[in-house]
Amino acid sequence: MATDTRESGTALDLKFDSNGLITAVAVDADSGEVLMVAFMNREALERTLKTRKATYWSRSRSKFWVKGEESGHVQEVQDILIDCDQDCVLLKVQQKGVACHTGRRSCFYRSVQAMSGAESLKVVAQPLVDAKAVYAGKK
Amino acid sequence: MATDTRESGTALDLKFDSNGLITAVAVDADSGEVLMVAFMNREALERTLKTRKATYWSRSRSKFWVKGEESGHVQEVQDILIDCDQDCVLLKVQQKGVACHTGRRSCFYRSVQAMSGAESLKVVAQPLVDAKAVYAGKK
């Protein structure tokens, strides 16, 4: 499909990478806060559209990953947006519990501090739940 | 670095992909709205930290891309967050003008509509500026 059509048209024409993946950003449907970033392949998106439960492709485990299937911390998808060049999707979700496996609401809990040319990280959010307990109870 | 240290530590230890890239999500520092998703390599991040102007790596042009260098629609970076496994950065920016080259505030201006198993896109945001005019004046 031509670039113009892909960018201005109303046909879904996703641009997957060489591994058949696309970036997926999950945000809280109410606050807009970015919760996590993961990947989807075509079928993961299809499953997400069908079930309305965020379903990613786990690169490390090479399998579909229904977010929260073990922890109960599922993401109910309210809306899916596509960016201009159709290589990224944005999921607006109702997050049950927390998004991050560390027990924090969002995976983005550290801020980069750059001083005198050296970088370090500052923790800016604490766990809301004990992630170990959540997962231990499910395995 | 061990996974635990990468996830809970305060050392910046980014996990670049096989192309030396990391996903970068830019959000409006005030509203939290996701504006765009692009890529950075290590030097793009270094340049961003140093100049506080969002600088990406353009995969299509194979060059550094100071956002807004042609259009004037720069992103002044207020904060940079890293996710749990350090393979994604979140930029909190003050966006001058608009983020999308189509003239829209955000690149995510289309929503996926799924009905009867067929998907289409619905445009949910209109251009705020005439992108063609902006770029025409700079080239």
| For residues A78-105, average pLDDT | 96
Which residue from A116, A112, A35, A23 is spatially nearest to A75, judged by alpha carbons? A35
A-B contacts (CB, under 8 Å):
115
Confidence bin at B138 (pLDDT 50/70/90) = very low
Helix (H) or strand (E) holding A134: helix A131-136
Cβ B108 vs Cβ B88: under 8 Å? no
Q: Does A49 touch chain B (CB under 8 A)?
A: yes
- Chain A hits for B101, Cβ within 8 Å: 84
- Let me know if residue B109 belongs to a domain: no
Domain of residue B39, residue span:
3-102
CA–CA–CA angle B87, A81, A93 (5° rounding): 70
- Let me know if residue B72 belongs to a domain: yes
Using CA atoms, how far apart are residues B13 and B34, in angstroms rounded to an integer? 24
- Let me know if residue B58 belongs to a domain: yes
Residue A100 CA, distance from chain mean position: 10
Is A3 in a helix, a strand, or coil? Answer: helix
Q: Tell which of B8, B53, B81 to mutate to test the A interface (max A CBs under 10 Å).
A: B81
CATH of the domain at B23: 3.10.20.810
Q: Does B37 touch chain A (CB under 8 A)?
A: yes
Cβ A75 vs Cβ A68: under 8 Å? yes
| For residues B108-118, average pLDDT | 87
The chain A residue lying nearest B84, using CA atoms, is A107
pLDDT of residue A138: 45
For the cut 90, the answer to whether the pLDDT of residue B118 exceeds it is no
The domain total for chain B is 1
Q: Which residues pair with B28 in a beta bridge?
A: B93
| For residues A80-105, average pLDDT | 96
Cβ A121 vs Cβ A48: under 8 Å? no
The residue with greater pLDDT, B114 or B92, is: B92
Which residue from B16, B19, B18, B36 is spatially nearest to B27, judged by alpha carbons? B36
Using CA atoms, how far apart are residues B19 and B62, in angstroms rounded to an integer? 11
- Let me know if residue B116 belongs to a domain: no
pTM of the model: 0.93
Write the DSSP assignment of B4-36 as a string of letters: HHHHHSSS------TTS-EEEEEEETTT--EEE
Confidence bin at B30 (pLDDT 50/70/90) = very high
- Backbone φ and ψ for A5, nearest 5 degrees, come out as -70, -40
**What is the distance in angstroms between the Cα of A32 and the nearest Cα belonging to chain B?**
6
Q: Does B70 touch chain A (CB under 8 A)?
A: no
pLDDT of residue B90: 98
- Chain A hits for B36, Cβ within 8 Å: 83
Over residues A27-74, the pLDDT tens digits come to 999 999 999 999 999 999 999 999 999 999 999 999 999 999 999 999
